[in-house]
Amino acid sequence: MTLRDVAKLAGVAPITASRAINTPDQVSAEVLRKVQEAVVRTGYVPNRMAGGLASSRSRLIAAVTPSTVMSVFMGTIEALNGTLFDAGYQLMLGQTSYSAEREEALLEAIIGRRPDGIFLTGLLPPGKSRTLLMASGIPVVESWDLTPTPIDMLIGFSHSDIGREVARYLASKGHRKMAVVRASDERAEQRARAFSEEVLQLGLTPVVEVNVGSSRSITSGRDALTQLLDACPDVEVVFCSSDLLALGVLTQARVLNIDVPGRLAIMGFGDTPLASDMVPALSSVRINGEEIGQLAARCLMDRAEGREVLRPMVDVGFSVIERDSA
């Protein structure tokens, strides 16, 4: 079933059928009716590959994320996808699985599809992929971080600010011996560094840090607390790089009969649905991931449709959420 078949059935030229389908107000009521009828009768579904090739507009947006299972980014991706779909776009999803090599192959595959825009979770460091992307001329949104030198557009927040603010918050609660439990990703490291620096600035005990590597499970959190207590038995508060890790620390604290927040306070990151439902409820840092997704969708569509992008760099900020655990 092609446009020609529909046109023939409706007794018009293919281009007229195309207009009836895509820009119905450019066509007489009579023609519109006949074409619509023909579409229904034939079950015609336009071939968007052909349309995209002819118009150089694919109505496809690609999104790149490190992982999808239990990932903090999924709220963003879901919002992005929802906003795009309502406007007639579709989402292609790529996973890097935290591998730079894979990311490069992925970006080349994505560029090959000629999407109207690309959404990246995180920043793209200088390298072959970045060069390729910039050369392609495809609108890009980087996200979940800030930098003075984005590829194109940017919607994020400052991880250093978070580290500092959490340090001040915990200090204000009277904690003096602070620790960090974190995964080995760059943004977590950035938060941890700023956190440690601020703690020193405040004249408190230097921060003890446990790096759980690339596994970001509850178990890692449990193991990390054990390790931490070995190194520093009188630690008073742990700032975790994700709610999942915090949940692990919390779980292990319960197993060891350590009172939370009485003897040990715990702070998460991400404010996932898990956090508020824990007992004790987990204090965390809230990021409005949905907002990032929605804004990114708007930016990319504005670019794709030739409109000026009003705010190509947005800091969506964050908020420290005080609950029972810290």
Interface residue with a second copy among 8, 21, 36, 82 (CB under 8 A) is 82
Note the residues at the interface with DNA (CB under 7 A): 2-4, 12-16, 18-19, 21-22, 26-28, 30-31, 44, 46-47, 50-51, 53-57
Contacts 24+ apart (CB under 8 A), 53-57: 56/114, 57/116, 57/304
99 lies in the binding site for a second copy (CB under 8 A): no
Burial (CB count <10 Å: 0-12, 13-18, 19+), residue 120:
buried
From DNA, a second copy, none, interface partner of 277 (C-beta below 5 to 8 A by class): a second copy
Spatial distance between the Cα atoms of 45 and 293, rounded to a whole number of angstroms: 29
Amino acid at 103: E
Closest CA to 249 of 197, 324, 182, 159: 182
Residue 160: phi and psi, rounded to 5, are -65, -45
Interface residue with a second copy among 106, 162, 188, 314 (CB under 8 A) is 106
94 lies in the binding site for a second copy (CB under 8 A): yes
92 lies in the binding site for a second copy (CB under 8 A): yes
Closest CA to 76 of 243, 318, 298, 292: 292
Q: Is the peptide bond before 261 cis (omega within 30 degrees of 0)?
A: yes
Which span (116-124, 128-136, 166-174, 300-308) binds a second copy, by CB under 8 A?
Answer: 128-136
Nearer to DNA, 15 or 255 (CB): 15
Interface residue with a second copy among 139, 150, 156, 248 (CB under 8 A) is 248
Which span (22-30, 75-83, 161-169, 307-315) binds a second copy, by CB under 8 A?
Answer: 75-83
From a second copy, DNA, none, interface partner of 31 (C-beta below 5 to 8 A by class): DNA
Spatial distance between the Cα atoms of 117 and 81, rounded to a whole number of angstroms: 13
Which H, E and C letters describe 119-155, residue by residue?
EEEECCCCCHHHHHHHHHCCCEEEECCCCCCCCCEEE
Q: Helix 243-255 crosses helix 218-231 at what angle (to 10 degrees)?
A: 60
Which span (97-105, 148-156, 227-235, 297-305) binds a second copy, by CB under 8 A?
Answer: 97-105
77 lies in the binding site for a second copy (CB under 8 A): yes
Torsion angle defined by CA atoms of residues 161, 175, 264 and 219, in that order, rounded to the nearest 10 degrees: 30
We find the least distance from the C-beta atom of residue 136 to a second copy, in angstroms, to be 7
Which span (5-13, 46-54, 168-176, 300-308) binds a second copy, by CB under 8 A?
Answer: 46-54
Contact 122, 142 (CB under 8 A): yes
Instruction: Write the CB contacts of 145 (distance below 8 Å, at least 6 apart in sequence).
Output: 122, 123, 156, 157, 159, 187
302 lies in the binding site for a second copy (CB under 8 A): no
**Count residues contacting a second copy (CB under 8 A)?**
58
Q: Which residues bind to a second copy, rule: CB under 8 A? A: 43, 45-50, 52-53, 58, 60, 67-70, 74-75, 77-78, 81-82, 85, 88, 90-95, 97, 102, 105-106, 108-114, 132, 135-136, 217-219, 222, 248, 251, 254-255, 272-274, 276-279
